[in-house]
Each structure stands twice: as structure tokens, then as C-alpha cells.
Amino acid sequence: MKVHLFNIANFKVDGGAMFGVVPKVLWSRVYESDENNLITLSLRSLIVSTGDRVILVDTGWGDKQDEKFFRHVHLHNGDGLTEGLLKHGYSPGDVTDVFLTHLHADHCGGCVRKNAKSTGYELVFPNAVYHVSRIQWEWALRNNPREEDAFLEENYIPVYDSGRLNLIDEEGELFKDFSVRICYGHTPGLMIALVNYRGKTLVYAGDLIPTAAHLPLIWNMSYDIESLKTISEKKKILEEALENDYILVIQHDRHVECCDLHMTSRGIRAKNTFKLSDI
């Protein structure tokens, strides 16, 4: 097995929204903001190559929306989606599976692009099966006032129309050495990937633990649909990770790619931070 991590792009969000009820006087000590209270996040995607499969975890914002839309997210730097793949030796046509943690726009927008004549849409990864939890899929189709700006039909309906959508109903092994956990706090049906790699378990925590600053149980996003469920789910995975020496892969932290854990007087925290390539 080979694994790679690359940053599609950086983007900016309001720091208060990212840390919910935690006061700025606290979160600003560990994650810096600019004069507009915006913090910079990364959009890291994971590549897992097993020999017969090339699995891509999450695809970023994509580029279908107009300038006004992207003016609000401040995309900058990063490798790009297809460029990041190519950097590690893979073309879009090589990807056999796209694993989507959930259907918020910053996680699935890169699945679909406008066609050459801008008359419709086409899949960025034409040979891939796209995996989404059934719970998340049905939730996104119903949409709701809290998430309507994040669920954009052009990001995922073309996947359904292509016939290449696979809906996941249960937790467990999806591929050899690649398993799924399903969570409900951030958005119903959020999937977390657990990958067995070189004798370690990698936990691609996604929006359950978006940055290392979100390791404390009550440091959560205002974007979470059910905060108490987020706390419970985070507690469970952190305790399991600590007990079994798992490695967390952090998707949105601009500074920290990976960390292991230890128990402190304040609870479970990062012990060592490092790059995935250092494993």
C-alpha cells in the first residue's frame, strides 16, 4: 500500500464560526486570525493506492461556481486537485474510487466540472465509483436551512446521473485495510476513513476533528448540526485512538498534517505532530 496526502488549496472562514462557543480570547492563542477574524484552513485529500485500487478521499471545492461564490472562500495556494494527484503519479483516470466523507461543498465539489462547452457537467474521475453514506445522501437531497449553502446539487446529482454512485449503509471494511465509521454530529452520515498502513491505523478525521485545535471535546464548529453528538463521537474516537496508538490525519489544519496522542491533565491532546510522509 502507498498513501499520500496533498493540499488542494487553502481557504478562509470566520474564526468564530469555526470554533463555535469557544471565545476568541481562547482559540486565538492556538489558531491565528487576520484583521477580519478570518482563519486560513487547508483542504487535504488522501490518496490510498492498494495495487488494484487508487482511492481518493474528498475532492475539495471544485471550480464550477462563479467568481462571486469563490470570493467568499478566498481560495489560494495549494497543489490543485488534478495537479496534486499528478504530483504523486496519478491521473484522474487512474482513480478507481472516490470516498466522500460528506457532501458539503468543500469536500465534494471537485467530483464534477463543467463540460468543455459549459452546457452541462461531467465527472472529473470518469472511471471511479463514488462512495457516500446513504444517510448523508438522503439528508443532502432533503436539504435544510442550516446547510443549504453547503449542499449544492451540481456537486453530486451528476454523480447519481452517471450511475457511478455507491451508497454505504453500514460501518466496517469497505476495501482491504480501509474501513468506515459513520458519525452524525457534524452532519448525519459523515464518514471517517480508517486505513491500516505500515502497522499503524490512520484516522482521516475530516470534519469531526478539522484541526488539531479541535481536539478538546467542547472545541467544535458552529457548523455542526448536533453539537452534543459531535462531542460524544469525538470522545469515542479519541479514546480508541489513544488506546491503540492511532495516527490522526488532519484535513483542515494549515499547520498540522498528522499527530499521535497522549493523555494530559486537560484531556487527550496531540503528542507529536508530523507529516504523513514521515511515517
Q: Report how far residue 116's alpha carbon sits from residue 154's, in angstroms, rounded to the nearest whole number.
A: 16
Pairing of β 129-133 and β 165-168: parallel
- Per residue in 237-249, pLDDT (tens digit) is 999 999 999 999 9
Q: Report how far residue 1's alpha carbon sits from residue 274's, in angstroms, rounded to the nearest whole number.
A: 20
- Per residue in 122-165, pLDDT (tens digit) is 999 999 999 999 999 999 999 999 999 999 999 999 999 999 99
- Per residue in 168-203, pLDDT (tens digit) is 999 999 999 999 999 999 999 999 999 999 999 999
Label residue 8 left, alpha or beta by phi (over 0 means left) and psi (-120 to 50 means alpha): alpha
Label residue 74 left, alpha or beta by phi (over 0 means left) and psi (-120 to 50 means alpha): left
Q: Report how far residue 257's alpha carbon sits from residue 253's, in angstroms, rounded to the nearest whole number.
A: 7
Of 45, 69, 58, the C-alpha closest to 111 is 58
Pairing of β 2-14 and β 165-168: unpaired
Of 57, 16, 27, the C-alpha closest to 223 is 16
234 and 190 Cβ atoms separated by less than 8 Å: no
Mean pLDDT, residues 252-262: 98
Overall pTM surpassing 0.75 (yes/no): yes
Burial class (CB in 10 A: 0-12, 13-18, 19+), 86: middle
| Cα–Cα separations (whole angstroms), residue 229 to 22, 130, 218 | 17, 26, 11
- Per residue in 71-88, pLDDT (tens digit) is 889 999 999 999 999 999
Output the pLDDT for position 80. 98
Output the pLDDT for position 81. 98
Give domain 2-278's CATH architecture. 4-Layer Sandwich (3.60)
Of 10-14, 54-58, 116-120, 159-163, the poorest mean pLDDT is in: 116-120
Of 229, 228, 213, the C-alpha closest to 270 is 213
Judged against a pLDDT cut of 90, whether residue 117 lies above it is answered with no
Output the pLDDT for position 10. 98
Output the pLDDT for position 256. 98
Mean pLDDT of the residues in the chain: 97
